[in-house]
Homo-oligomer: A and B are copies of this chain.
Amino acid sequence: MKPVKVGLLGLGTVGTGVVRIVEGNQEDLSSQVGSPILIGKVAVKNIDKLRNIEIDPSKLTEDPWEVIRDPEIDVIVEVMGGIEQTKEYILEALNLGKHIVTANKDLMALHGSEILAKAQEKQCDVFYEASVAGGIPIIRTLIEGFSSDRIIKIMGIVNGTTNYILTKMSQEGASYEDVLKEAQELGYAESDPTGDVEGLDAARKMAILGTLGFRTNVDLSDVSVKGISSVTKDDITYAKNLGYEMKLIGIADRQDEYITISVQPTMIKQSHPIASVNGVFNAVVVHGESVGETMFYGAGAGELPTATSIVADLIAVIKNLKLGVNGLKAIVPYKTKKLQSDEQIFYKNFILLHVDDKAGVLARITQIFAEYDVSLASVVQQPNEHNPDAEIIIITHKASKANMDKVLKHFEQLDVIQRIKSVYRVEDI
């Protein structure tokens, strides 16, 4: 049977994994698609670089266009990263009728709708399972597994770097700075960790999940983002004492036809399985009207887990190719986007205040919550270990973001409050 030829853009960690799986599992793969799968051509940055995988040098090129324009290549696997230039490559590949498998969350979060529209026009497949949560088949699950349901909420630990940092801080009582340094030495965090620790990477993935879950085009700018760089080891201790773990959680939430998407450090009830998702692992909780609560857990990154998703997409493309049905099952978001206002967004809050240690302060503070219609689940005042002030630890019931913002603004002007030490979203799920 004539082999299917695949062009590879990029031969870094994930690209190497793709070659390993396609070559190592060739027998299993070809018995599923009915013909051999060959890596035909590979675009790399530097053709002379030493690699920890054997590959026929005649297949390597430093010119991506050579891969894209090779008439023998049917499918392009894009694992080079990058946004604008890469978009050009992919649009041109689609123009030439080639199918795309990509791991590029940045590209899909920013230009997904344009790329998917072009794919539909050209009746080509564009699959991107590996772009969110590495080895977890969450995109397939949202598109196919829950095609019958209406999603209410998606909650995800979708960034391994921050989950590694928060896990270490929680398990070892270490500071953010120390753990970040260690993560950088281990290669779990980049030398400039901003994209991970400030939540942008998670926000891009949540834009993709929100688009699929709610069947409407969620833009990156629709996602409100707060990272973990201000989380202290004390915050984590408070969380644990109250029965919570601190996690960087992406939340996509729908009430009727109004949606909201955010990423922020969140206190998660310890009894829920997602609170036990530690280290570089990822997990996504999907709550559907009919199916109820589900969770999907696995490696969020890494050579082979990510390549597993890419090659699974590749098999899907090749099966469609053999059946002549590429591009015909694409889901194009068909709903008009309506975003929740701050008055419509409701959740519980944890608030830690440093206040003057004198009579009447607690009463004044609880009164302000009442003024803005925020009701309280618990309030504890205790002496502060580190200085002469008192600490007040508050957990609210679900309150609107608008009202909570007003409370916090009022607090800033209140002279008995020395400092609003911490504010976190709380999820009891």
Contacts and interface: CB of A to CB of B under 8 A. Distances in A.
Given A276-B273, A308-B291, A145 B137 contact: yes
Interface string A263-304: 000000001111111100001000011111111111100101
A376 interface: no
A307 B32 CA distance: 29
Nearest to A274: B273
How many copies of the shown chain assemble into the complex? 2
A113 to B, nearest CB: 17
Contact of A276 (B141, B272, B315): B272
A136 interface: yes
Interface in A326-360: 328-329, 331, 334
Interface in A1-36: 17, 21, 25, 28-29, 31-32
Given A32-B147, A308-B149, A290 B137 contact: no
A308 B325 contact: no
Nearest to A287: B298
Contacts of A292: 135, 298-299, 302, 304-305
A38 interface: no
Interface string A109-145: 0000000000000000000010000011100110011
A83 interface: no
A296 to B, nearest CB: 6
A139 to B, nearest CB: 9
| Most B CB within 10 A of own CB, among A21, A271, A274, A310 | A21
B291 A299 contact: yes
A25 B323 contact: no
Contacts of A32: 147, 331
A176 B298 CA distance: 33
Contacts of A329: 319, 323
A189 interface: no
A146 interface: yes
A296 B241 CA distance: 29
A43 interface: no
A401 interface: no
Contacts of A144: 137, 140, 144, 312, 315-316
Contacts of A42: none
Interface of A: 17, 21, 25, 28-29, 31-32, 129, 135-137, 140-141, 144-150, 215, 271-278, 283, 288-299, 302, 304-305, 307-312, 314-316, 319, 323, 325, 328-329, 331, 334
Given A144-B316, A273-B273, A273-B276, 20 more contacts: A21-B149, A21-B290, A129-B145, A145-B309, A145-B312, A146-B312, A148-B314, A149-B308, A271-B276, A290-B307, A291-B299, A291-B304, A292-B298, A292-B299, A292-B302, A292-B305, A293-B298, A294-B296, A294-B298, A323-B329
27 contacts: A21-B149, A25-B149, A25-B150, A129-B145, A135-B290, A135-B291, A137-B141, A137-B145, A144-B315, A145-B312, A146-B312, A148-B307, A148-B309, A148-B315, A271-B276, A273-B274, A273-B276, A275-B276, A276-B276, A291-B305, A291-B308, A292-B299, A294-B296, A294-B298, A295-B295, A323-B329, A325-B325
